[in-house]
């Protein structure tokens, strides 16, 4: 780590002279850099990152003072400001509300049918072999592509096929309604997959964390779908009742679901306690990230959510959200792929290729 130790020692010494309270933060920051293999080329970059780190410590302390223990802590994002974190890892806010009307019409046409009369207190689809390992979107606003892909993988397995590892890069490059690493929408991604006829594997269409030219090959389709469905009524917080009961029912009956959330506070989450409902705005206007809902624990009161920020964040890449309050808007926009049962899988047929570049 070029010049890091020297910079850290200088910063620590200066902090000791100026303010004894900073010395602990300086040592914490040095440990942070070692743990997450961080490096900064200049003293100005170091100072900026350390300033962000100190601000993160203050946010964490403020939440603990409010009684939210074991919720937030130091993460690999602690050297970023909230604005920097949002720009690198989240989607622009506001797109959801503009599309709510169209999404509700789609829900009305194709409403899921629940079958269970009673539900277990806890349930997690990871135990059923239909969830692939946690992925890493890197510094690319492609969470919408990962969320869609992860659901499609799970629904393909539940359709009777082998669990595939599909390539989100196909969506990043080829979905004409989305903007690749600059943002997109699961609703649009499913519409693209219907037009394309399916999705290639990660092996045949590898991830680059950049928006590229569409290189989709029809003959390499590894998973197909017949439609997609909204598992809850697309809504805004406050204009519809809590989504929790319907969401729990359909998660159990259907499979792991694609959801979109407000992840503005997730950069600080370490757990093991879930993010409280009253600390994460659930309105549709605030949604800025898409992930996969895989389970719940109704006894302890939390949802199990798989993220796409690698396994060195959260609980090995997962996060817990409190039940009972549409926490972070997790029930606002929930979708899943309709996959033909294996015996009824259609032939490829003619595909329409779209290249938005």
pTM confidence score:
0.88
Residue tagged active-site, from 252, 289, 290, 326: 289
Residue tagged active-site, from 143, 174, 235, 328: 143
307 among known catalytic residues: yes
Residue tagged active-site, from 214, 307, 326, 328: 307
3-state DSSP call for residue 265?
Answer: coil
Query: For every one of its 357 residues, what pLDDT tens digit does the chain have, with 9 covering 90 and above?
Result: 444 444 454 444 444 444 556 888 999 999 999 999 999 999 999 999 999 999 999 999 999 998 888 999 999 999 999 999 999 999 988 777 777 777 777 776 666 666 666 899 999 999 999 999 999 999 999 999 999 999 999 999 999 999 999 999 999 999 999 999 999 989 899 999 999 999 999 999 999 999 999 999 999 999 999 999 988 888 776 556 667 888 999 999 999 999 999 999 999 999 999 999 988 988 888 999 999 999 999 999 999 999 999 999 999 999 999 998 889 999 989 999 999 988 754 444 333 344 444
At residue 309, what are phi and psi to the nearest 5 degrees? -115, 30
353 among known catalytic residues: no
What is the spatial distance between Cα 57 and Cα 70, in angstroms, rounded to a whole number? 14
In the chain, where are the structural domains located? 4-67, 92-344
48 among known catalytic residues: no
SS3 content of the chain, % helix, strand, coil (to 5): 40, 15, 45
Architecture of domain 92-344: Alpha-Beta Complex (3.90)
What is the spatial distance between Cα 51 and Cα 79, in angstroms, rounded to a whole number? 8
């Amino acid at each position: 780590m070029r010049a890091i130790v020297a910079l850290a020692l200088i910063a620590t010494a200066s902090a000791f002279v100026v303010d004894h309270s900073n010395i602990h933060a300086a040592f914490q920051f040095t440990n942070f850099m070692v743990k997450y293999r961080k490096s900064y080329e200049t003293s100005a970059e170091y100072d900026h990152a350390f300033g962000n780190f100190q601000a993160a410590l203050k946010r964490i302390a403020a939440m603990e003072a409010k009684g939210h223990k074991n919720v937030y802590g130091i993460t690999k994002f602690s050297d970023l400001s909230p604005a920097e974190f949002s720009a690198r890892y989240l989607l622009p806010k506001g797109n959801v509300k503009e599309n709510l009307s169209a999404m509700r019409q789609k829900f009305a046409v194709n409403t899921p049918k629940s079958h269970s009369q009673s539900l277990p207190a806890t349930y997690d689809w990871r135990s059923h072999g239909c969830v692939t390992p946690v992925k890493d979107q890197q510094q690319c606003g492609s969470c919408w592509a990962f969320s869609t892909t992860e659901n499609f993988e799970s629904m393909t397995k539940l359709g009777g096929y082998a669990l595939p590892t599909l390539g989100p890069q196909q969506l990043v490059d080829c979905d004409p309604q989305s903007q690749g690493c600059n943002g997109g929408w699961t609703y649009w991604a499913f519409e693209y997959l219907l037009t394309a006829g399916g999705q290639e594997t990660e092996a045949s269409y590898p991830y680059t964390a950049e928006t590229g030219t569409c290189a989709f090959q029809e003959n390499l389709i590894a998973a197909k779908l017949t439609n997609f469905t909204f598992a809850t009524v697309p809504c805004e917080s406050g204009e519809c009742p809590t989504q929790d009961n319907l969401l729990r029912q359909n998660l159990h009956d259907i499979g792991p679901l694609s959801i979109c959330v407000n992840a503005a506070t997730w950069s600080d989450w370490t757990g093991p306690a879930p993010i409280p409902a009253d600390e994460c705005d659930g309105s549709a206007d605030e949604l800025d990230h898409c992930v996969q809902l895989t389970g719940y624990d109704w006894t302890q009161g939390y949802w199990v959510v798989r993220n796409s920020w690698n396994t060195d964040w959260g609980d090995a890449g997962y996060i817990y959200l409190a039940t009972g309050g549409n926490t972070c808007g997790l029930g606002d926009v929930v979708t899943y792929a309709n996959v033909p049962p294996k015996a009824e899988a259609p032939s490829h047929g003619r595909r329409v290729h779209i290249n938005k570049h």
